[in-house]
């Protein structure tokens, strides 16, 4: 009992500066340190659906949002949606322009954790249906008070009004062809009446479900208005993505038999302490192929098969990177922390040991992660390889006269080096 309250105190005191200001940002963000393990994905009966993008067709609209609250008592949480433009600025649409009726929903689906070292409440909510395609920011707040924010999450609802054809697939670019990846494609808008395509159509490309390095408002190389096509052929470095490397991973779905890349599990106190195998820079190494989840994570408990979402334990996980000290800050990131390069995810350097390290509170599961550097070359530790398997998404927005907002009229997933 003491350890649980002590942990809550550490969370509140140690991270209070990072979460003191509850100013809404139009990003994937948690506003309190007790909110953990946030996932949003299509709710469909298929294996691995929790790894899919928070993107849905307007005709199906099946997104599910889940998160944990590291408190013993249930809170009254509410959901609201905000329609956004292609650049994630708030659009001018009013609630009734995109909602079928009201725009505030109570979260009634919750479960208490079972026999866990840290008690928590797991919440689950189906994202309310909308009637207009586009970008949406889902916000969750406490007791109907919209300033008492808990989390915000980006989702996308699309309507298929355009077609896309890949053109020559992936292309290398001169002296960076061994490190970068580019997508060449043609957007066909012949099924939609478009006025001024160069000014009214906006294309976004993102890599591995990330918004932090997405390329917004990518301009076409050519516009063929006579045949209603826009050609995207990328020869400029700023239009390409660094290939990066396959993600590192650690498997602690079982605490009885910890999996790959775990070094040591200390059970002398609760919550447990897990040490991950020491990592090393990979930029100077040859590319090594192995499967990953493109940076994603899966909370799971294989020791207790029933309801793993509420039986999985939270534990402290320590990561270490053996490296010379860099001038810039180094961060441990992945989908599990929204790719955020902030104080909570920044590594500390031990001069005597020559090791970067970070101790994090994580839920039992399987995690992909990488070390990113706060510099123009964020992958200087991981390396960049054109052979890396990555998933790209092309989102095509159109701003019509009515409604006066960016509508998501095309969504296309393109796997590069799929295996």
Under 8 Å between Cβ of 363 and 312: yes
Q: What is the pLDDT of residue 11?
A: 47
pTM recorded for the entire structure: 0.92
Q: What is the pLDDT of residue 238?
A: 72
Q: Does residue 15 share a domain with residue 118?
A: yes
Beta strand residue intervals within 113-235, DSSP E: 121-126, 134-142, 145-158, 163-170, 180-181, 183-188, 201-207, 222-224, 229-232
Residue 13 has pLDDT above 50, yes or no: no
Q: Tell me the pLDDT of the chain averaged across its residues.
A: 92
Q: What is the pLDDT of residue 7?
A: 52
Average pLDDT rounded to a whole number, residues 387-395: 96
- In which band, very low, low, confident or very high, does the pLDDT at 174 lie, cut at 50, 70 and 90? low
Instruction: For residue 34, give Cα distances in angstroms to 14, 19, 151, 187, 378.
Output: 12, 10, 11, 43, 29
What is the Cα 162 distance to its own chain's centre?
A: 26
Residue 158, CB-side half-sphere exposure with 13 Å CA sphere:
21
Residue 109 has pLDDT above 60, yes or no: yes
> Domain range spanning residue 340?
248-373
Q: What is the pLDDT of residue 14?
A: 39
Q: Does residue 151 share a domain with residue 8?
A: yes
Structure tokens at 168: 């020559």
Average pLDDT rounded to a whole number, residues 223-229: 95
Q: Does residue 147 share a domain with residue 38?
A: yes
Cα–Cα dist 317/276, whole Å: 7
Looking up residue 67, the CATH number of its domain turns out to be 2.60.40
Q: Is the dihedral of CA 293, 294, 295, 297 positive or negative?
A: negative
Residues 156-166: pLDDT tens digits? 999 999 999 99
Residues 296-305: pLDDT tens digits? 999 999 998 7
Q: What is the pLDDT of residue 47?
A: 80
- In which band, very low, low, confident or very high, does the pLDDT at 218 lie, cut at 50, 70 and 90? very high
Looking at the 3D structure of the chain, how many domains does it have? 3
Closest CA to 220 of 188, 246, 244: 188
Average pLDDT rounded to a whole number, residues 5-16: 44
Q: Does residue 301 share a domain with residue 215?
A: no
- In which band, very low, low, confident or very high, does the pLDDT at 168 lie, cut at 50, 70 and 90? low
Q: Which helix (H) or strand (E) holds 112?
A: strand 109-112
- 228 inside domain: yes
Q: Does residue 143 share a domain with residue 8?
A: yes
Under 8 Å between Cβ of 301 and 259: no
């Amino acid at each position: 009992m003491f350890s649980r309250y002590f942990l809550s105190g550490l969370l509140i005191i140690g991270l209070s500066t990072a979460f003191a200001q509850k100013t809404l940002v139009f990003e994937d963000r948690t506003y309190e340190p007790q909110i953990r393990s946030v996932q949003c994905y299509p709710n469909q009966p298929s294996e691995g659906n929790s790894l899919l993008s928070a993107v849905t067709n307007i005709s199906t609209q099946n997104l599910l949002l889940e998160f944990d609250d590291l408190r013993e008592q249930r809170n009254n949480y509410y959901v609201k949606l905000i329609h956004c433009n292609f650049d994630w600025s708030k659009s001018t649409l009013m609630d009734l322009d995109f909602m079928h009726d009201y725009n505030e929903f109570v979260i009634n689906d919750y479960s208490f954790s079972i026999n866990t070292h840290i008690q928590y409440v797991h919440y689950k909510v189906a994202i309310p249906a909308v009637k207009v395609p586009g970008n949406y920011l889902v916000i969750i707040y406490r007791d109907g008070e919209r300033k008492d924010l808990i989390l915000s999450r980006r989702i996308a609802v699309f309507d298929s009004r355009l077609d896309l054809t890949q053109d020559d697939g992936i292309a290398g670019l001169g002296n960076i062809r061994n490190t970068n990846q580019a997508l060449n494609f043609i957007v066909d808008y012949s099924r939609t009446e478009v006025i001024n395509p160069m000014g009214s159509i906006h294309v976004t490309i993102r890599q591995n479900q990330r918004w932090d390095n997405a390329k917004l408002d990518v301009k076409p190389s050519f516009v063929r208005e006579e045949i209603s096509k826009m050609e995207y052929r990328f020869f400029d470095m700023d239009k390409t993505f660094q290939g990066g490397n396959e993600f590192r991973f650690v498997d602690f779905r079982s605490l009885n038999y910890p999996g790959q890349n775990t070094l040591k599990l200390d059970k002398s106190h609760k919550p447990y302490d897990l040490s991950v195998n020491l990592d090393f820079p990979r930029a100077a190494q040859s590319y090594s192929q192995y499967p990953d989840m493109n940076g994603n994570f899966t909370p799971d408990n294989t020791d207790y098969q029933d309801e793993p979402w509420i039986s999985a334990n939270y534990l402290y996980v320590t990561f270490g990177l053996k490296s010379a000290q860099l001038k810039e800050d180094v961060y441990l990131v992945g989908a599990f922390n929204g790719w955020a390069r902030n104080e909570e995810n920044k590594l500390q350097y031990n001069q005597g040991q020559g090791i970067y390290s970070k101790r994090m509170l994580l839920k039992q599961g399987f995690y992909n992660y990488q070390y990113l550097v706060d510099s123009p070359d964020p992958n200087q530790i991981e390396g960049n390889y054109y052979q890396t398997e990555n998933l790209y998404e092309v989102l095509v927005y159109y701003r019509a006269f009515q409604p006066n907002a960016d509508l998501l009229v095309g969504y296309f997933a393109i796997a590069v080096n799929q295996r």
